[in-house]
Structure 1
């Protein structure tokens, strides 16, 4: 009886190593499959984003006759001609549209970023009555699409006579609930409470603490919010389409749409639409390249928090 009981554990122990070895041998193949799947998804996502941009670059080099009659990724020889025609069309109206877009997006990004930074700082560091309820309202605003607020904004602007003015586009861009949410995340991640407590002990008030300590430490977060806001205002289409009637106030999105609506009657507008779309992407690329150091730091802080 004793011999039987002693033999069973030995047989169990002897049987376990092959199973463990089999499991170890199976892990690399599973990891390789997971890595292959992830890389395949990343390649498909990259192709989805890069191929339209490549098509736009090649299409900008073609005239109207070869735009749809040749291979999509075959370069043409009309790049400079298309740009000259674009800049000379209607007395150079595209340059005015481009300047309007830079004005709307630049001012909207800076002012909205600063307002969002102050609001996020207040929600994170201050204690006041109704704070949670008010912040919940901000989060609800994040869930509402911008297109749903275009008609109410138009009615409000019309009631005070702001339609067909620059302010009809700028004022709605100054307040973005998602930017306020990001600003609170950045404030809690970049700005420790102990730093502000030390400033208060030294005699700094709330405003001085924010300007002298909080604002310099939140610069990466401000740049990230401003970049998101710049892209959102630059790509905004419905609001200026509804608010503006004067062609001289159009941004590039509405101006290119105006030309696109005439392509069926006049196919010669096709190179103008393509070249205008190409030039309208350049400021976005320049902004991201110049500010990517702050942008990456801001995203890293937000993800860690």
Structure 2
């Protein structure tokens, strides 16, 4: 049975968009916390009413007046990452984590606290949410990881790395020097990590090799010649397809992340229809895509298999 050795951290969209998930992970690890389970989700009104029940964090008049509105806007910005943490020192892990988080008021931020990592943190731009104690953590985990409760979540014991947690919300590189295929590869990265560690998507097989290939592709500079870059992408797909399809028996169900992953790593399946199916599935599962990311993804999937390329690629 889980005990007070477990806590919950909800990494909010400001932490995700600022790229602070790895840094928060390092700070938490230094304090003896390790991730046990995680999931990506879009916080909705019901989630927020549970997480922020009562007025404990709204001690100022402005907080009571604007807090609900601005917190809802923060949650709507992007995906949040819910992480169940373990800690073995005999103390209430939730209380220890809550104290380590630090004050939300910018003027009260202190060095060594988690919120010190961001100069822009404030009441409704505060990097992470943590329950006050284990009773609240149990309640919040039941809300965020439904239909599983804390007992089932902890029993899964996925032990994701902080890199994997961050990659649940990997972003399409915004620069004009990134590969034209980066939107598809970023989606492959997110799906492969989700199938490995996300409690709502994981099939217990694990696709770390696909994720590693995607990270390498995104880290390398794209080829200058567009045909050479298309060949590089085709080579990546060949390697990823071999690894993504090896563990599936029977075939993944249509519309599932596994089905979408096996389609994405096979350029013969690329189409605008696949793109819209992918966007719907990711968004409904709490894996947000910005309008920019959606457009890049849809464009790449619609035109990769054009006659122009078919004539020039093997």
Q: TM-score range by the shorter chain?
A: under 0.3
Higher relative contact order (CA 8 A, sep 6+): 1
* Greater C-alpha Rg: 1
TM-score for both structures, normalised by structure 2: 0.22
Q: Please state which structure has a larger fraction of its residues in helix.
A: 1
Q: Please state which structure has a larger fraction of its residues in strand.
A: 2
TM-score for both structures, normalised by structure 1: 0.22
